[in-house]
Structure 1
């Protein structure tokens, strides 16, 4: 997705791939590597960080699609404090603000501070932005294992001996190894092992 304003400021965000291309981390299979290129008068910068999950990236697209009618939810943020989106009004016109902090902040920004860049919503090509963003999500869909079947089947009191050195249940690991290559129940026909790696080009 790409945003530009009349001051020569531009932001391009893309999904570069899964944080862990191979499906071998039960709790982290849905984390995405987000890349950003920002053009700014004070100095251009770029970042690459596992800033969003598949669910959060999907939620961001839905939030953007709902602009400017967002009701009480005038901002959008994720679990990791890396990207933040806000809608404000200036002279009665909707303005989209994109915030960068922590790993996505420019090197010239004081540590711990955030910078917000403004884009007039009327000049944002939202259909193109949504098409591009959702194109990435088709390449990198959810791979998360659904735990409900395991949790319902697991009916015993666990002891310290039941966990491995990473604090995960050994019986869960065995269950996950046996089920990880099966299609996601929430997405019939989708094999989690088919989508991995990084994107070579924008959709």
Structure 2
């Protein structure tokens, strides 16, 4: 299972969790609050298509809780209730909602740092127009995929 957000014009984003960044860490080790942040970083494989340009990346860019928040945000976006922006601790990936019309959502996916195409340094944005029903299916597929990567 993967998260696939693609539109009719050929633009798109595919995400898949490859593994925990630190598979040997198993959980509550922090002396202050009993939580080990490092145990919950996920290495994500991404593929982006922006017109004729296609690139892939692999980066530890989401925590387990952020990955779950992404599924929730997609569900809310499909229902017209999501906050306008979704960002993460690592600046590799971000999402923004534009207008919603005719059962579709205008999204902008932004890429920076280790999620950029080879040789690029400036953040890059990819615009997508995705049917709301597709967002719901993508959220469900992503949630199912995340079952293999629970918070530790």
TM bin (shorter chain): 0.7 to 0.9
Checking the alignment, whether the CA contact within 8 Å between 1:3 and 1:124 is kept in structure 2 is no
Per the alignment, residue 13 of structure 1 pairs with 15
Q: Report the Cα offset of residue 123 of structure 1.
A: 6.2
Name the TM-score, length of structure 1 as normaliser.
Answer: 0.62
Q: Retained in 2: the 8 A contact 1:16–1:32?
A: yes
The total of aligned residue pairs comes to 140
Aligned in 2, Cα 1:124/1:48: closer, same or farther, shift over 3 Å?
Answer: farther
Q: Which residue of 2 aligns with 1:193?
A: none
Other-structure match for 2:48 = 38
- Which structure has the larger Rg over C-alpha atoms? 1
Within 2, Cα distance between the matches of 1:75 and 1:55? 17
Give 1:122 deviation, angstroms: 2.2
- RMSD over aligned CA atoms reads 2.3
Structure 2-normalised TM-score?
Answer: 0.80
CA distance in 2 between counterparts of 1:124 and 1:107 reads 33
The aligned counterpart of 1:104 is 115
Q: Where does the alignment leave 5 or more consecutive residues of structure 2 unmatched?
A: 30-35
Deviates more, 1:2-11 or 1:98-107: 2-11
Aligned mate of 2:136, from 114, 127, 145 = 127
Match of 1:55 in 2: 65
In 1, are the aligned partners of 2:77 and 2:132 still within 8 Å (CA)?
A: no
Q: Which has the higher contact order (CA 8 A, sep 6+)?
A: 2
